[in-house]
Chain A
């Protein structure tokens, strides 16, 4: 059993990163339904040309309809076109309410026929939306695709549950899963559990979730705790994530994939976590945690993943930390020994430590801010690609390490990281390593 390495497809600009370190690394791709609704042909071409197994899951993103309409409309109040297409594909009640009012659970529970119809359409969308253009694509003429074009599993419609809305949403979510089980045919079926951090850290709420979903007979679960940044999360939240994953997995009976996870989740899926998860997904860029309701993009900044900290650090912080450790003052060989010896770092440094500054290469642009027009430095495309190549190389080794190293070695690596970086990064900069160890060892 290995730790399945899933990558989420965010934008078409990111598709070129799926070949780093090589396309065989990724177990599969997770695609958002709004993206599939918007550009099915492009996604079909991407899966055929940039992935090795064509293995994919379509996240139906049905939670998009339960939020305030502003979450799915643009600045002029128009429903975003990809969301509109998704609503059209799913039918009623989404077509009627999208952009006007949030979906409420009682709407789904009141009209059983309409809900049945919506679940059927949602599953059909996943079966057909990308599979059909894959079969019809020019590239497919030379491939023996067989049944490979089907999604890895169908995902039942789901909704976001917080401590205050759990009781209302659970019956609707369960109903959707039950209907999906009737309609799944020969496909695998996954349920998606998306909860607030309050639910994850509350043992009673977790029990409600597990009692409601673990025995439904699905083949697996997608798990997403709203905006759970493992680097900053406390032990309650991390323990909650682990407990939910173990409960849903049923001791290895069912797959459990964390939709947005970092190194803690990778360890949880490996030897140290006793295979609490079967897989972990992340995005090529900012995908190790994600808020259910997007809060805006912000200014992109260069980040360097410090392997021993298992954290993607702002370039300026990485610079300060690595300089404090004197690892930018000796030789490139020392850098590779102490910091990172991945192929990407070796390529960027080219034997010269001064080239580390290439990870922070930027261009100056003038942008509008509250105070008026201001000049800001944005990472160059080249710098972003360098940071990403390095990040994806390191990620691959993290998955392999978590899967095959002994628990002692894994714990030793966390402790070494803490000892090595506490002076340079401060206690706050290394405390996550201790929390992860405590939670995974069951001592927190």
Chain B
């Protein structure tokens, strides 16, 4: 196998592939999942709920900065915020950017075609309850996946 093939084998080839893998991973962890959930004029890739806890996940094949920027709006409503990245071993500096903000990081390993926690998120203590309630009213109109 060539060098290029080995490189692509470790990373998600598309957002679709990453999402498929993520949905299966979250399901196995006991989450109920909704996709493309609007929040404050943007759309979160995944909102996963377990019990009363709400986790926002932005999934990107490789664009960390965009994921970080999108996560900013979720701070008003999410209990936990995560970035799922389509690389097997992201740079430490990228992980640090996420963890400094309390975000969790989910990595992708296409060798085993599975996602795994690289860093678990911290509870977001900065949510604003009135905004969360407003957002949650709209959430009821969105079906769970699977």
Contacts and interface: CB of A to CB of B under 8 A. Distances in A.
A106 interface: no
Contacts of B7: none
Given A357-B131, A375-B37, A362 B76 contact: no
Contacts of B73: 316
Contacts of A299: 41
B91 interface: no
A302 B131 CA distance: 14
Given A316-B73, A328-B128, A375-B142, A364 B38 contact: yes
Interface in A138-184: none
Interface string B30-42: 0000001111111
B40 A357 contact: no
Interface string B125-146: 0101111011000100110000
B124 interface: no
Nearest to A366: B36
Interface string A334-374: 00000000000000000001111100111110000000001
User: Chain A: interface secondary structure?
Assistant: mixed
Contact of A315 (B36, B37, B41, B142): B41
Given A356-B130, A357-B131, A314 B41 contact: yes
Contacts of B134: 357, 360-361
B36 A374 contact: yes
B41 A320 contact: no
A364 B136 CA distance: 12
A363 B73 CA distance: 17
Contacts of B43: 374-376
A414 B42 CA distance: 32
A375 B37 CA distance: 7
A354 B142 CA distance: 24
Given A362-B138, A364-B138, A377-B138, A319 B131 contact: yes
Given A320-B72, A363-B138, A377 B128 contact: no
Contacts of B129: 354
Interface string A186-217: 00000000000000000000000000000000
Contact of A377 (B39, B130, B133): B39
Interface in B96-146: 126, 128-131, 133-134, 138, 141-142
Contacts of A306: none
B36 A301 contact: no
Contacts of A320: 72, 75-76
A118 to B, nearest CB: 45
A409 interface: no
Contacts of A362: 38, 41, 138
Nearest to A322: B128
A35 B127 CA distance: 46
Interface in B35-83: 36-43, 72-73, 75-76
B142 A364 contact: yes
A159 B129 CA distance: 52
Given A301-B41, A374-B36, A355 B130 contact: yes
Contacts of A375: 36-38, 43, 142
Contacts of A316: 40-42, 73, 76
A56 to B, nearest CB: 35
B40 A319 contact: yes
Contacts of B142: 364, 375
A323 interface: yes
Interface in A373-430: 374-377
B44 to A, nearest CB: 10
Nearest to A371: B15
B62 to A, nearest CB: 18
B38 A360 contact: no
Contact of B40 (A315, A323, A355, A356): A315
Interface in A302-320: 302, 314-316, 319-320
B76 A354 contact: no
> Residue among B41, B42, B134, B138 with the most chain A CB within 10 A?
B41
A375 B130 CA distance: 22
A353 B42 CA distance: 24
Interface in A214-255: none
A377 B138 CA distance: 9
Given A363-B138, A364-B141, A354 B130 contact: yes
A422 B76 CA distance: 21
Given A362-B38, A375-B38, 5 more contacts: A301-B41, A323-B126, A357-B130, A363-B138, A364-B38
**Considering the complex of A and B, which 8 residue pairs feature the smallest CB-CB distances, nearest first?**
A377-B38, A354-B130, A316-B40, A357-B130, A357-B134, A301-B41, A316-B73, A357-B131
Interface of B: 36-43, 72-73, 75-76, 126, 128-131, 133-134, 138, 141-142
24 contacts: A301-B41, A302-B41, A315-B41, A316-B40, A316-B42, A316-B73, A316-B76, A319-B128, A319-B131, A323-B76, A323-B126, A323-B128, A328-B128, A357-B130, A357-B131, A357-B134, A360-B131, A360-B134, A374-B36, A375-B37, A375-B38, A376-B41, A376-B43, A377-B39
Interface of A: 299, 301-302, 314-316, 319-320, 323, 328, 353-357, 360-364, 374-377
